Amino acid sequence: MTPFQQKLFLTVVDKLLIGLLVAIAGFWLNRCLETFKSQYALQNELLKRLMEKRRELDANADLLFVIGFLREEQRSVVEGKELPSQPKDGRKLRELPEFLEPLRPYLLMSPRTSKDAFGIFGEEILLCHRSTQLWVDEDQPYSDTWWSGFKKLAIETERKVGSRFPDPKDRKHHRS
């Protein structure tokens, strides 16, 4: 092989290797981009569904009453006041966790679900989870069998966005 042929061979092999590396890098970047796009689309779809449910909650006067009742209970705990009197039919209060529980599959479907998604209903989920008044007249208050799905949702919500909605029982202990 002449020196020219050797240089030509090395140049061709060199360009082929560079081309192969560029092709592999392009393929890998394309896969990363497609993965990102699909995850972004899923998150957008999730947020759209959650916002629809949020509008539904905000339009329901009975559920807004329950939220107000739970906020009042929370204020009473923080201020050390007497808890608000519970409505005659405690089942009406539990309509809020019944409304929120079906959100569990949407929020828990992926470990990458954003904190923003959890934050949309974070306050309401944690108000229900931390309430004592909500569960008083149940045969088995806040039982692990009946409310297990809601509890899983509440625990994950606490983990993801609990710092945005501090537990009033913790604040009460810090003040003492």
Instruction: Provide the pLDDT for residue 158.
Output: 93
Tally of domains in the chain: 1
- 77-109 pLDDT, tens digit per residue, is 888 898 888 777 778 899 999 999 999 998 998
The ranges of the chain with pLDDT < 50 are 172-176
Which residue from 163, 95, 104 is spatially nearest to 128, judged by alpha carbons?
Answer: 95
Residue 51 resides in a domain: yes
Take residue 134 and report the two structure tokens written for it: 């909500």
The answer as to whether 136 is a domain residue is: yes
Predicted pLDDT at 109: 83
Q: What is the pLDDT of residue 61?
A: 95
Q: Is residue 64 part of a domain?
A: yes
Is 4 part of any domain? no
Residue 21 lies in a domain: no
Could you tell me if residue 130 is inside a domain? yes
Which residue segment(s) compose the domain that 152 sits in? Answer: 44-175
| Distance between CA atoms of residues 101 and 5, nearest Å | 73
Amino acid identity, position 173: H
Nearest Cα to 67, choosing from 170, 165, 171? 165
pLDDT for 171: 59
CA distance 157 to 159: 5
HEC assignment per residue over 55-81: HHHHCCHHHHHHHHHHHHHHHHHHHCC
Residue 63 lies in a domain: yes
> Looking at residue 176, what is its pLDDT?
40
For residue 12, tell me if it sits in a domain.
Answer: no
